[in-house]
Amino acid sequence: MLADKKILLCVTGGIAVYKAVVLVSKLSQAGAQVKVVMSRSAMQFVQPLSFQVMSRNDVYWDTFDEKESSVIAHIDLADWADLILVAPTTANFIGKLANGIADDMPSTILLAATAPVWIAPAMNVHMYEHPAVLRNIDRLYEDGYRFIEPSEGFLACGYVGKGRLEEPERIVELVDAYFNESRDLPLAGKKVVVTAGPTLERIDPVRYISNFSSGKMGYAMAQAAVEMGAETILISGPVSLESPKGVKLICIESAAEMLDAVLDYYQDADYVVKSAAVADYRPMTVHDQKMKKKDGTASIELERTTDILKTLGAQKTTQRLIGFAAETTDALTYGKGKLESKNLDWIIVNDVTDPNGGFGSDSNVVTLVSRDGVEHPFPAMEKKELAKQLLKAIVQEGKRSL
């Protein structure tokens, strides 16, 4: 699968180092050329000899140990790699890398690297959720690093939670997908922003206005974008869904927060898929204390929220803007009107009363309508498969209209 691909594995110190030995074995069996660089902390868990045997290459750990006098090792290794994996990656190493510190062999190599770098964190769940660690991850993401998110489960420290190094078999699958030229990656090198789920507009500390959106369609669109090679940012309202692997997840609550988050990434986006069900109205007054029940009727005065899709359409330059129209009557008519009035490139129209789709369902049936009026009806299918078909159609038609 990975014949002749050059993969540099940087191993930092944590109990998950034993999985890195398996990872080297799996990558080598798949045909890759693997070289390993270790931090000194990693060597406390596994000796370099294990990696040397599995990779059939020298193992590096000392910046000043030049094994070949004709080259400078940390520069040569950085230039050699087609892909650099850091697995496992500790909180300490993430912090060093985010701040440009190069005080050992792995960190020095990464500062000299021009190849793609994938980081696979592994640590205690509370460490992974610490604001400093999350801040450093965000900085590295903005710098172009990509992350293989840790999985949830029993951790070596005894906790149960998110922090387990992703399994070697899964990492090999991701690497294979990246390199396999036969794989359909029409969004490689593109940045895709996806919004998903409902927004929540507070009335008081215990009540709010929202809707029935589950976020499933938006999450499926984000997963499809990643699998098609895109750098993907998923901006999500409150949902009960697991974040798709490989996306940058930004959680918001209100329509105003979603607008701010989308605008943060809009300028550099190639495609924006606006699948979130954003509240059209919010309470004019948000009460600090719970509103007490009274006899008789009650009323809440509402005001319009900012129309995010219309705002994006007005600011559009080179972005391709895709909206959703969830309707209950005359779906196509209303969808086409939204396509025109909000300056969209495509609108995905679905009748939420259709028993084969709608809010909360695992399937959907939609019609994709393009700017030039071409309609692409899609029969009922699982949202994950539908998302792939929609993005493929959008990319293909976009190429024709360039």
Active-site residue set: 157
* Structural element, H or E, at residue 77: helix 73-80
- Please give the radius of gyration of the chain, using alpha carbons only, rounded to the nearest integer: 24
Q: How far apart are CA 189 and CA 228, in angstroms?
A: 10
Instruction: Answer for the pair 231, 192: CB distance below 8 angstroms, yes or no.
Output: yes
Write the DSSP symbol of residue 43: G
- Among 88, 78, 68, residue whose Cα is nearest residue 35: 78
Q: Give the rounded distance of the alpha carbon of 267 from its chain centre.
A: 18
CA dist 146 to 120, 173, 226, 380, Å? 9, 15, 11, 34
Buried b (16+ CB within 10 A) or exposed e, 99-124: eeebebbbbbbbeebeeebbbbbbbb
**All residues at 6 or more sequence positions from 131 whose CB lies less than 8 Å from its CB, including other chains:** none
35: its two tokens: 């070289």
